[in-house]
Each structure stands twice: as structure tokens, then as C-alpha cells.
Amino acid sequence: MDFSLVDGGPFDALLRRAGLGPAASHCFARRIICAVGISWVPLLILSLAQNIFLPGRLRMSFLHDFETHVRFLIIVPLLIAAERPVQANLSRLVRQFLDQDLIPPSSESHMKHLLASARSLLDSSLAELMILFAVIFLISAEVHAELLSPMEMWRCRGVSTLADITWAGWWFYLISRPIFSFLVFRWLWRLIVWALFLGRVSRIPLRLVPTHPDGAGGIGFLGPGQTAAFRTLIFTLSAVGSIKLIKKMFFEGATLVSLRSEIIALVACLVAVFLGPLFFFGRLLFLARLKGLLDYGILASRYTQSFDRKWNREILPSEEKLLGTSDIQALADLQSAYGRVKEMRFVPIQFMEALMLAAYAALPMVPLLFLAFPVEQILKHAIKLLFIR
């Protein structure tokens, strides 16, 4: 049961023809180098050629535009590198449904249909065409806004016309920015496909076992599997939002306190996006727990009544010695099984795994602390927390 969330669509077909296909792991480094070489290096060369690299009469030179450097030197490589853990972990995660015998034989053909449907969505030319239209619309709006802005920068010189856009600016709007936006939107489409797939799988009558040691009926692998697959991606998408917040602190005078609600909202939204699909299995887990409580409740009633009659209510004492009898151990085992059913979770992820995803989402916000407070003050508080009780 092969599944790939990152291999599919016209763009990937084009990459394969160019020898940069995502199927082979050695292609990732070449793809990153090509992406940086196309999106950032020409901006450097053109800004040097037009004398807009260093600070001068422009308020924002190419050298000081940290947002551009972070986008194309850090975020673009991470958007590409994030495909490796997703490819490795999600394909193994999907195979677990069959390896653990969770799919009833009558539903195996339906599961194959769901995989084929997900494959079709990922291969959709219409989906990538819609992504391109979204990119064009976004960049058109950005160009319009920057042309009306009085701020002189390396892309365009204040309130101006299209004729006043610099060479580096044209490359940015026509090549670099579309690459960045396309990679982000394509990841969002992949996440939608993954959520749809899990939602449809959750409608299959999975063979969940309430007493399974993972506390989720046998699908507890979904939590750590998703955490391992998406931790690089959630960090990267959070970084996309964090550079906007950093820009507000630099140029709009925003403070950490004023940005608090935006930071919380960004982290919460990202965690919800990546954990949300797991809640589709809540109904199955609830019903499995309820059935387990009823079944093991009946079993426990029968056994404890027999135990009570044998050891407490017989007129003649039992010839079997109470010390060392297997009845006591069986009673303890039954109590343990019933307790495991009661502790069954309604979502196939543990609290620490969810907390780890939230930490990855919050990590790109750390630079905001260094902008808001002196480094010495941050180190002093960290030392107090770590070493002073």
C-alpha cells in the first residue's frame, strides 16, 4: 500500500524531466540549490548592477531587506526539505492500517479506492492551475500596494509606475515571489488532501481494540507519525508568519505585547491545522470505548459473581487453597483490562506529542524576544530558571 503526499502533479513531472524529481533522495540538495539559484542569486546580481544593494538614498536597500533573505535563503530550502520526512513517515503510517489488520477484509477495496482518490487529487492539473491563479492574484495585489507606497525600496522607487520598478524588482515579482508563493500554496493543498484522506478513512469500520496498549484502540501510531512527518513543515510555515511580525516590530514600531494575540493565533491555527484531521477518528474511538466498557463490564460482572460465589458464599469451603490460586491473578488482569478501556483516548495523539508540535510552531517566534528585550536580560532570566531554585 504505497502512498506519497509529495510526489504528484504537473510541477513534479516537470522536475522529474529536469532530473530534479522528488522520488530520489539525492535530488533534494540539487533542488534546493536550484531554487536558491533562481530565486535569490539573480536578485543579488541585479541589485549590485543597479547600485541598490547597499544603503543609500533608498530607505530599504537589498542588503537590509531581511524578509527577502529569510524567504529565499531559509524558508524556500525548508519548504523543499520538508518533503523528505513527510514522504518517509506518511507512507509508513498508511501501511500501518493494513500491517496492524485494522481494515476489515470487506473494506480493503474501499481503502484502495481512497488511496487512488488521494493520488488523483495530488496529480490534478486543475488544482495546480488554481494555485497558479492564486499566486498571480496575490502578487498583483502586492505590486499594486507597493507602487502606491511612499517608501522607497530596492524593488520600486516610492510612489511610481511600472516603469520605475527596478530590474531586481521585476525578477522578484515575476520569478522569485511566484516560486515562494507556489511552494507555500502547494503545501496547503497537500494538507487539504491529507485531511480529506484521513476523514474518509475514519468512516471505515476499523477493527479497533479497546484494550490496545497505545490507548487509542490500535491507531495511536497516527499521533507520533504525524509529529515526525510535519515538524519541519510546521516550523517553516510558522516562520512565514513570524517574518511578518518581525517586520512590524522593525518598521511599524509594534511591541511584543501588541503582537501577543497574533502570535497566539498563529501558533494555535498551525497546531489546529496539523492536529485537526486526527479528530475525525473521535467518533470511532468513542464508540469503541463505549462498546469496550459494555463488553468488559458484562465479562467483569460474570467473573466477579463467580469469584464471589466460589470463595465467599459456598456453604462448604473450597478445597482449593486461596494462596497462589490463578483466580486472584485473573481478577487482577480483568481489572487492568477494564481500566485500560476506561483510559482510552478520543483522539489518537498524546498530550506531549501535541505539545511538541506547538513548540515547533512557536520556535520561529524566538527572534521576537531578542528584538523586544536585551540579550543580557534574556540570559539572566534563563539562568535563574535553570539553576536557581
Kindly report, residue by residue over 297-339, the tens digit of the pLDDT: 898 888 888 877 777 766 445 555 555 567 777 878 888 888 8
CA-based nearest residue to 204, from 119, 296, 292, 112 = 112
Q: Categorize the per-residue pLDDT at 382 as very low, low, confident or very high, splitting at 50, 70 and 90.
A: low
For residue 310, tell me if it sits in a domain.
Answer: no
With beta carbons less than 8 A apart as the criterion, state whether 286 and 292 touch: no
For residue 315, tell me if it sits in a domain.
Answer: no
Q: What percent of the chain has pLDDT over 90?
A: 48
What cell numbers appear for 276 in the block? 485537526
For residue 309, tell me if it sits in a domain.
Answer: no
CA atoms of 90 and 79, how far apart (whole Å) = 17
- Look up residue 133 and give its DSSP letter: H
CA atoms of 263 and 200, how far apart (whole Å) = 32
Instruction: Please state whether 217 falls in left (phi above 0), alpha (psi between -120 and 50) or beta.
Output: left
For residue 341, tell me if it sits in a domain.
Answer: no
pLDDT for residue 266: 92
Residue 151 has pLDDT above 80, yes or no: no
For residue 323, tell me if it sits in a domain.
Answer: no
CA-based nearest residue to 151, from 88, 272, 64, 78 = 64
Residue 235 has pLDDT above 70, yes or no: yes
pLDDT for residue 376: 57
pTM (two decimals): 0.88
pLDDT digits (tens, 9 = 90+) for 137-149: 999 888 887 777 6
pLDDT digits (tens, 9 = 90+) for 173-182: 999 999 999 9
pLDDT digits (tens, 9 = 90+) for 79-107: 999 998 998 899 899 999 988 899 999 99
Give phi and psi for 157, each to the nearest 5. Answer: -95, 75
Could you tell me the CA-to-CA distances from 99 to 1, 95, 224 in Å, in that order? 10, 6, 17
Q: Categorize the per-residue pLDDT at 249 as very low, low, confident or very high, splitting at 50, 70 and 90.
A: confident
Task: Name the residue with higher pLDDT: 373 or 196.
Answer: 196
18-41 average pLDDT score: 79
CA atoms of 267 and 97, how far apart (whole Å) = 30
Residue 200 has pLDDT above 60, yes or no: yes
For residue 329, tell me if it sits in a domain.
Answer: no
Give phi and psi for 102, each to the nearest 5. Answer: -85, -25
CA atoms of 184 and 189, how far apart (whole Å) = 9
pLDDT for residue 273: 92
For residue 82, tell me if it sits in a domain.
Answer: yes
Could you tell me the CA-to-CA distances from 24 to 16, 31, 35, 336 in Å, in that order? 10, 11, 17, 47
For residue 314, tell me if it sits in a domain.
Answer: no
42-49 average pLDDT score: 92
Q: Number of structural domains, the chain?
A: 1
pLDDT digits (tens, 9 = 90+) for 111-126: 999 999 999 999 999 9
What cell numbers appear for 133 in the block? 491563479
Instruction: Please state whether 55 falls in left (phi above 0), alpha (psi between -120 and 50) or beta.
Output: beta
Residue 61 is part of which domain span? 10-287+348-387
pLDDT for residue 387: 54
